[in-house]
Amino acid sequence: MDLEKIEDLLKLLRDHDVDEFELQDGELAVAVKWGGTQVAVAPTVVAAPVVAAPAPAAVETVTMAGAPAAPAAPVAPAASDDTHGIESPMVGTFYRASQPGATPFVEVGARVSVGQTICIVEAMKLMNEIEADVDGVVEEILVEDARPVQFGQVLFKIRKG
């Protein structure tokens, strides 16, 4: 997929008022999210192995041709006063439960309170418990179990209250 096609795609999405879009096409992953009037583009960590070809063509970070550099990634959730994004404080692997096969800490719809453990991010063989920093209800879980996460990546959306 070349840059021109990406531009056409983005135009199409905007024309149809799409808020959020994700596409995986072989080695290319495109994730786009509109928040307010700013267009933010999320660089994704490609989990699929990159083929070590002499001239690697895969690009999974989308750059907006002609647009000024967007503010710092990763993407913050679309601003809504009631919704709060819980971001990963570190790089590592995200786990929904304390160990494989155990019940996940939370599911969508669960009520959480400040200080409650909601997931694990494992880094260098250390399991770090991540706690909710607001009271509310889990609206969305944005990362699948055992997937890699970066610093600042949004893991959960909590509807405050």
Tell me which residues touch another protein (CB under 8 A). 43, 45-46, 49-50, 52-56, 58-61, 63, 68-70, 72-74, 90-93, 123-124, 148, 150-153
Closest CA to 80 of 42, 136, 120, 130: 136
Residue 161 CB, shortest distance to another protein, in Å, is 29
Q: Cβ closer to another protein: 92 or 136?
A: 92
Other beta carbons less than 10 A from residue 74's beta carbon: 19
Residue 43 CB, shortest distance to another protein, in Å, is 5
Question: In this structure, what token pair is assigned to residue 28?
Answer: 């290319």
Residue 61 CB, shortest distance to another protein, in Å, is 6
Residue 130 CB, shortest distance to another protein, in Å, is 14
Q: Cβ closer to another protein: 33 or 153?
A: 153
Which residues are CB-contacts of 9 (< 8 A; sequence separation ≥ 6)? Answer: 30
Main-chain dihedrals φ then ψ at residue 151, nearest 5 degrees: -60, 130
With H, G, I as helix, E, B as strand and everything else as coil, classify residue 96. Answer: coil
Contact 39, 70 (CB under 8 A): yes
Q: Cβ closer to another protein: 35 or 43?
A: 43
